[in-house]
Amino acid sequence: MENVTIINHPLMSHKVALLRDKNTNTKQFRELVEEIATLLTYEAFKDIPTEEIMVETPLEVTPQQVIVDNCVAIIPILRAGLGMVNGVHTLFPTAKVGHIGMYRDEETCQPQEYYCKLPLHIEEKICIVLDPMLATGGSAIAAVDLLKAKGVKHIKCMHIIAAPEGIEALHKAHPDVQIYCATQDRQLNEHSYILPGLGDAGDRLFGTK
Ligand code: PRP
Ligand code: URA
């Protein structure tokens, strides 16, 4: 599928396997989510705009490519997306962060927005939406809708575990958005949880269950 990348790399598979394990504790879980987010960022920003600068080495002056200043904004979907922010900041330490608060209604699984605070001039940035879980796709679709309504043109979505249903729904709703997933799982269960999945990402990150 165009604009959908599922990472195929032993380092990623290894970390995702540890993340799924129900015996992985909160500290390990948090660290793994950060590390996986850094690996995903490396892949997702292959096409980031660069500009030429002149660099003086000890031997000569050479033209070199550097990333255009301040062109990325990090947009975690609360709560679980917060766990990925430090991993992206490892590679883009000065990127501004916008927060979108969204929870799934337990009965309907429909996303409910409860908070939104975005950096100034968001419409000029490449926005990277973070959420470890892409289940039905409802939360990611609503977050992208919201960013587009603010005028954002260039959006990427980064997920750790994605259900086929979620990938299809997000791609169908927003075919221009580039989707990066650490892994694609088998299916959703009757409660729209991902199988085999890792359970509730927010609860495992923050120790709330
Ligand atoms: C989880 C997850 C995603 C959403 C994915 O959040 O972090 O935001 O569900 O499901 P979807 O693709 O079907 O929308 P949840 O609603 O549990 O909120 P939380 O992060 O605050 O726990
Ligand atoms: N949200 C989660 O945290 N896990 C799932 O499997 C689905 C939605």
Multiple choice CATH, 4-206, 3.40.50.2020, 3.40.50.150, 2.10.60.10, 3.40.50.300: 3.40.50.2020
pLDDT at 106: 85
**Which atom of ligand 2 is least distant from the CA of 194?**
6
Closest Cα partner for 99 from 115, 88, 123, 112?
A: 115
Which ligand has the minimum distance to the alpha carbon of residue 130? 1
pLDDT tens-digit readout, 59-103? 999 999 999 999 999 999 999 999 999 999 999 999 999 999 999
Q: How far is the CA of 120 from the centre of ligand 1 (A)?
A: 26
**Active-site residue 200, yes or no?**
yes
pLDDT > 90? residue 104: no
The residue-averaged pLDDT of 128-146 equals 97
Which residue CA neighbors atom 4 of ligand 2 most closely? 200
Calpha distance 105→17 (Å, rounded): 28
pLDDT > 90? residue 109: no
Tell me if 179 sits within 8 A of 170, measured CB to CB.
Answer: yes
All residues at 6 or more sequence positions from 23 whose CB lies less than 8 Å from its CB, including other chains: none
Q: How far is the CA of 96 from the centre of ligand 1 (A)?
A: 23
Confidence of residue 49 (pLDDT cuts 50, 70, 90): very high
Q: How far is the CA of 102 from the centre of ligand 1 (A)?
A: 7
pLDDT at 209: 81
Helices 10-20, 26-44: crossing angle, 10 deg rounding: 150
Calpha distance 194→134 (Å, rounded): 8
Q: What is the DSSP letter of 68?
A: P
**Active-site residue 108, yes or no?**
yes
Calpha distance 141→136 (Å, rounded): 9
Which residue CA neighbors atom 3 of ligand 2 most closely? 200
Q: How far is the CA of 25 from the centre of ligand 1 (A)?
A: 20
Share of the chain above pLDDT 70, in %: 100
pLDDT at 81: 98
Confidence of residue 174 (pLDDT cuts 50, 70, 90): very high
pLDDT > 90? residue 23: yes
Cα angle value 192/126/81 (rounded, 5°): 35
Closest Cα partner for 139 from 97, 194, 205, 90?
A: 194
Helix (H, G, I), strand (E, B) or coil at 197: coil
Quick check: CB of 136 below 6 Å from ligand 1?
yes
HEC string of 86-111? HHHHCCCCCCEECEEEEEECCCCCCE
Which ligand has the minimum distance to the alpha carbon of residue 186? 2
Which ligand has the minimum distance to the alpha carbon of residue 106? 1
